[in-house]
Homo-oligomer: A and B are copies of this chain.
């Protein structure tokens, strides 16, 4: 797992903690809470936004919030949004010249399913409360 995965979880947990307030948290606040630079967080949050885990408002008073409750959003959603390597190998979800010939290919597919079904059992609430 890359630093993006870890930082993505930090951001998600921070937004989860503040979810009931209904406010948008800006990147400066998130940077202070997580200890990650604002500029790097922007890039990571952009991926989460693309995956529709967070929504944003721009301009003054802008910021980010979760698009669903922390009970509904899973660790799997966050990691798939942020971590390219979660797909195990590049050829798994693109075309692969060895498809069918490579003994590993099907294994990677099954492993991917296994990992994701586990990660999707864990909500942000569970992660935040360390109830794994």
Contact = CB atoms under 8 A, between A and B. Distances in A.
A56 interface: no
The 7 closest A-B pairs by CB, nearest first: A6-B104, A114-B118, A9-B104, A110-B132, A1-B89, A1-B88, A13-B103
A18 interface: no
Interface in A2-24: 5-6, 9-10, 13
Interface of A: 1, 5-6, 9-10, 13, 75, 85, 88-89, 102-104, 106-108, 110-111, 114-115, 118-119, 122, 127-128, 130, 132
Contacts of A89: 1, 6
Contacts of A102: 6
Contact residues of A: prevailing secondary structure: helix
8 contacts: A1-B89, A1-B108, A6-B89, A6-B104, A9-B104, A9-B107, A10-B103, A107-B132
Nearest to A89: B1
